[in-house]
Structure 1
Amino acid sequence: MTRRLGPGSLVIATHNAGKLKEISALLEPHGLKCLSAGSLGLPEPAETGTTFVQNALLKAHAAAQASGIVALADDSGLAVEALDGRPGVYTADWAERQWFEGSAGRDWFMAMGKVEGMLQERGPEVSRAAAFHCVLALAWPEGESAVYEGRVAGSLAWPPRGTLGFGYDPVFVPAGMEQTFAELDPAEKHRISHRADAFAKLVAEQFA
């Protein structure tokens, strides 16, 4: 049986404020105090895995061992059907600006434009189907771990719409809806997102 979380602190292995906010909101009802790896000054490990599961486990174990506290890592990304599942595990990398492109940091509009440009190169009939994937990995300092996977299907819109999300949210329209993730009320997004799907599985096993 998977080891269960007890009350207390949980390190969220991220330096992304948006991701920390979403995860904290999902865990708040279960009495866990969420701390970010960034606030603890923990380094970000190199994400050398080739799958979401590998990267999530890598980050969770690194944070748990460095902090001595149970850690939760999220590895998530956008998989576009017509692009053979890309950007996938390289979802964030596609937003990285190079030194010759100006200031350092991530440019999500650039990343969204790259996806759109690649789709347009494939012609007007190209499939715009896509899905967001999320893997949540729990790791204990002693080395134990558990993994939970979630997914939400949808399609890509252009141009980007909405200001409420982050990352690729302004171009992703979940199946059966007309608004992008960035146009949805955050509570509604939390209810239907890939992260919510993975969290439902985590909660069912950890807190049921």
Structure 2
Amino acid sequence: MRLVLASNNAKKLAELKALFAPLPLEIVAQGSLGVAEAEEPHHTFIENALAKARHAARATGGAAIADDSGLCVDALGGQPGVASAHFADVVLPVGEREVQRRVQDEANNALLLQRLQGRPDRRAKFVSTLVAIRSADDPEPLVAVGRWQGEILAAPRGAGGFGYDPLMFIPALGKSVADLDAATKNAHSHRALAAAQMLALMHESWHLG
């Protein structure tokens, strides 16, 4: 069964291919099929993930899966939430995408620390919402949510990862996400938790595996 990933992110594609390896699925990125990115106008992860999945399914005429994820901080009422990737309003330099992402990440982290200054509650979670549908009009989307609990540090720690990883401390592991090796991160992450749920849902509802 072919499953179109509603993303053009090569790292996300590779990660999901590995996570869904137990099932008889061929996961392909929508970009390889000439499908453009969908709009993400909603205020919740589930609405944006469903919109992206329906967009990909409608454009390709088959099954699709989408992920919408971000950081939710308790003291900020769940912000930055769906706006995690563009939390800070910053002018990006012209050039390579990786350079732009690094500038945006640094600005996002600086703004997060600013907003949390003087606040004793540092609890936060990384959230991943996966939505899979058999067709654009599927009345029964499969929905899986993974939540990775942690705390926001007072300063960045660790040289790995990206985004908010240097600020997200995982008490259960005693390290920031940026201090974790790739295998450990992929085994415990919010996306891994969501993928495990989705595997079970696909097995039960779609009779895969």
Per the shorter chain, which TM-score range?
0.7 to 0.9
Compare 59-68 and 9-18 and name the one that shifted more: 9-18
Q: 2:30 aligns with which of 30, 37, 55?
A: 37
What displacement does 1:143 show?
A: 1.5
What displacement does 1:141 show?
A: 2.3
Q: Partner letter of residue 146 of structure 2?
A: G
**Match of 1:114, SS?**
helix
Q: Identity rate of aligned residues, in percent?
A: 40
5+ residue gaps, structure 1, are 1-7
Q: 2:134 maps to which residue?
A: 140
Q: Partner letter of residue 115 of structure 1?
A: L
Q: 1:113 maps to which residue?
A: 110
Matched, 1:197 2:190: no
Q: 1:103 aligns with which of 80, 94, 106?
A: 94
Q: Partner letter of residue 102 of structure 1?
A: P
Matched, 1:131 2:125: yes
CA contact (8 A) 2:165 2:177 kept: yes
Q: 2:18 aligns with which of 25, 29, 32?
A: 25
Q: Partner letter of residue 32 of structure 1?
A: L
What displacement does 1:157 show?
A: 2.0
Counterpart Cα distance in 1 of 2:2 and 2:142: 17
Compare 161-170 and 78-87 and name the one that shifted more: 161-170
Q: 2:4 aligns with which of 11, 17, 20?
A: 11
Task: Give CA-to-partner distance per residue, 1:122-172, whole Å, 9 cap, x none.
Answer: x1x521110011110002225212211111110112432334423222221
Q: How many residues are matched?
A: 196
5+ residue gaps, structure 2, are 205-209
Q: 2:68 maps to which residue?
A: 75
Hey, which of these two has a bigger chunk of helix by percent?
A: 2
Matched, 1:188 2:184: yes
CA contact (8 A) 1:61 1:140 kept: no
Alignment TM-score, normalising by the size of structure 1: 0.85
Q: 1:60 maps to which residue?
A: 53
